[in-house]
Amino acid sequence: MLAAYGWGPGADRVSSTAPVYSDESEWPDCIESHRHTGSGNRSAFLVGLLRTGQSANGPASAARRRMFVIRFGPVAYVMELAGRSIVVAFMIGRLSCVSDVRAAARCAMADAVAGFRSAGPVIVVSHFDADGLSAAAILVRALRAAGRPVQPLVVGKVESPWDAAVRQRIAALDPAGLVIADLGTRPDVVLPGCPTLVIDHHVPTGEPASAVTISGNGLDPEPTTALLAWWAASALGDQADLLWLAAIGLIGDMAEERGFPELETAQARWGKTALRDATSLVNAPRRTAAADAGPALRLLLRADGPKMITVDLR
């Protein structure tokens, strides 16, 4: 019987050691298939139901949990069995069902950049909080260092890249490629015909078929968009000097306790206090009515560390 069923933040996360089943015939004996039809943009998919009276690990009172992944095409469904319950998380993109997420992000970035057209700028569209701005700064700086013309575009407080007005602004720039960072993952294409890379960690509502997608949602621990961007940007060269930007994204999204070694490395090099102070200042515009993140982004694009942020934005 199904005791727990949920999506996104309410769903447990998958570990990199979880077994992956690509065929229904390979499912554990205690699982029976069940057809579930989703709503909205979620298509029909198979989930497992724990048979009545059975548990994943023997007695229903067993405290130990078991995770596994069932993959159908580009979509992975992450399941965790605990007693008689099953929790389902929705994983998409190039990081689903891989053992090395950092390498997978790097390869995804390389593929995306290879698909960008040669003429025109790459447009990096991002959210206006610390995580989104830091991700944009990492991507813009890494792409520029690799010789690509890049233009950042921060969406406003009530905007999204899928809004008609924002799409028109992007199209007017005649981009060679498009990067959407920290703004969600949807099945809808932002700019038809434009090579697109999506980097995000929020609960997806679908995956654009024509885009390269780097989604951290469903991973354990879950990386922020800035950390995903830093992993991905390593495809363009050594980004060690930009690690402080990934740390600002982690701190800004309250991910300090998730155990990422990158944060510890950044804190040792640039200092915990400096990183926290910089994060607070970068996040400040989102709490204002205008939410003008332009000055913060411009500083992130030229600063050599968090102390420069605290000096210039105070």
Say yes or no to pLDDT of 50 above 50: no
State the Cα–Cα distance between residues 115 and 108, nearest whole angstrom.
11
Q: What is the DSSP pairing of strand 20-21 with strand 66-72?
A: parallel
- What's the burial of 150, exposed, middle or buried (CB within 10 Å: 0-12/13-18/19+)? buried
The CATH number of the domain holding residue 262 is 3.90.1640.30
Q: Are 88 and 116 part of one and the same domain?
A: no
Same domain, 75 and 150: no
Residue 81 has pLDDT above 70, yes or no: no
Residue 84 pLDDT grade (very low, low, confident, very high; cuts 50, 70, 90): very low
* Residues 111 and 232 both lie in one domain: yes
Name the band, by pLDDT with cuts 50, 70 and 90, for residue 38: very low
pLDDT at 307: 95
Number of compact structural domains in the chain: 2
Q: Are residues 175 and 303 located together in one domain of the fold?
A: yes
pLDDT (0 to 100) of residue 85: 46
Locate all alpha helices (DSSP H) within 156-206, ordered by sequence.
Answer: 164-172
Residues 199, 236, single domain; the answer is: yes
For the entire predicted model, the pTM comes to 0.77
Domain span including residue 183: 101-313
Give the pLDDT confidence of 172-205 residue by residue, as tens digits: 999 999 999 999 999 999 999 999 999 999 988 8
SS3 51: coil
Domain end, chosen from 46, 67, 92, is at 92
On whether both 32 and 144 belong to a single domain, the answer is no
Tell me the pLDDT tens digit for each residue of 197-242. Answer: 999 999 888 888 899 999 998 788 899 999 999 999 999 999 999 9
